[in-house]
Amino acid sequence: MSPLPPANWYPDPAGRHEFRYFDGRVWTEHISNAGIRGTDPPIPSPPKADTAARVGAPLPPPVTSQRRSGPAPIVPLEDRPPLKPSWSRSAWTWYRSRETKTQAWIAGGLGALIVLLFVVAGSGGGDTTSGAPSGAGQSGTAEQVAQSGSVDPQPVALEITAPAETTVVRKASVTVKGTTGPGATVSVNGRRALVRPSGRWSRVVRLDLGRNAVRVVANLDGALETIEKLVVTRGRTKAQLAAIEARKVARERERKARIEARRQARIERKRLADERRAQEKAAQQAEEEAAAVPVPSGNLNCSDFSSQAEAQAFYDADPSDPSGLDGNDNDGIPCESLP
């Protein structure tokens, strides 16, 4: 019996696929076509030894970048065909080596830390067994501090010389001046001030109408910060005050004119209402008087009336004037001779 060929990829003996994997004993279900692996029921018969000898060498399936849909079949690592090294395998190798290096670094660091702890513990024990009193080191430190003459830092010298707290200025800005220690820096309302070698400083500050808060800060290396505050009041100039007074007078004049116009309008409305009521009352009285005058019947003469108004009422009741009270002028006014 001829020996079986070694495990590898061989041409499919059935001719249905390009390659099929032989595990050294039987054909497996793993097949390959144009570099794409798949599965197919295995063929029970093993490959003939003369087939591999005739081919000359095992033929690995070609590798291609072609993709196929669906999940790739899971092939055991020992059954997979040999592949050329790719960048992904190199990256994985680099990652594994990097992980190993990181672990080595961590282990080395822990070892160094343990050694350092042992050294510190040993040095502390030596100091303890030396027999020196525990207070000796503290007294020596106190003596060194006393000899060095170190004291707590002092605040920077800072003084505001102008303007005074009660100053009222008329301009839109004011120059804040003062003195400080040599080498100090001064800022006024967050802006750097000019400090001369003599320690004098100055800064122009813009002001709004009313009260303005001024904050001065002095700093010096090795010293405490010093803060001074000042309130400066900005008033109005004479021209501004005169203009404000003129506007007040004009507004007052306009207010009084509006009040007077409203008063006159009320008076006029009252007068018209009174006139209208008087006319209505007079007309009502005339109607009442005319209704109260008895109208005589038959032919009458002017002597039958006591007044011209009475004769007029009688005439108006019958303008045809059957009694001839109007006379010959026919002017519509009867008995003109009556009072």
Where does residue 21 rank: exposed (0-12), middle (13-18), buried (19+ CB within 10 A)?
buried
Residue 149 CA to chain centroid, in angstroms? 54
Strands 36-39, 27-33: pairing is antiparallel
Reported as a pLDDT band with limits 50, 70 and 90, residue 45 is low
Q: Are 80 and 102 in contact (CB under 8 A)?
A: no
143 has pLDDT over 70? no
Q: Are 228 and 214 in contact (CB under 8 A)?
A: no
Q: Read off the pLDDT of each residue in 67-85 and give the average, rounded to a whole number.
A: 45
The CA distances from residue 314 to 78, 289, 309, 325, in Å, are 149, 13, 9, 9
pLDDT at residue number 122: 74
Residue 65, token pair as written in the block: 């970048």
186 or 102, greater pLDDT: 186
pLDDT in tens, 186-243: 999 999 998 998 889 999 999 988 889 999 999 988 788 899 998 989 888 778 788 8
Helix%, strand%, coil% for the chain, nearest 5: 40, 20, 40
82 has pLDDT over 50? no
Q: Which of 84-93, 243-252, 277-286, 301-310 has the lowest mean pLDDT?
A: 84-93
Q: Which of 22-36, 70-84, 115-129, 295-309 has the lowest mean pLDDT?
A: 70-84
Q: How many CB atoms lie within 10 A of CB 26?
A: 13
Q: Are 19 and 32 in contact (CB under 8 A)?
A: yes
Write down the pTM of the prediction: 0.31
241 or 251, greater pLDDT: 251
Reported as a pLDDT band with limits 50, 70 and 90, residue 1 is low
pLDDT in tens, 20-41: 999 988 899 999 998 889 998 8
73 or 213, greater pLDDT: 213
- With helix as H, strand as E and coil as C, how does 135-155 read? HHHHHHHHHHHHHHCCCCCCE
Q: How many CB atoms lie within 10 A of CB 185?
A: 15
ω into residue 62 within 30 of 0, thus cis?
Answer: no
pLDDT at residue number 72: 44
138 or 178, greater pLDDT: 178
pLDDT at residue number 94: 52
DSSP 320: T
132 has pLDDT over 80? no
Strand partners, 214: 230
Nearest to 9 by CA among 83, 75, 80: 80
pLDDT in tens, 252-264: 999 999 999 999 9
11 has pLDDT over 60? yes
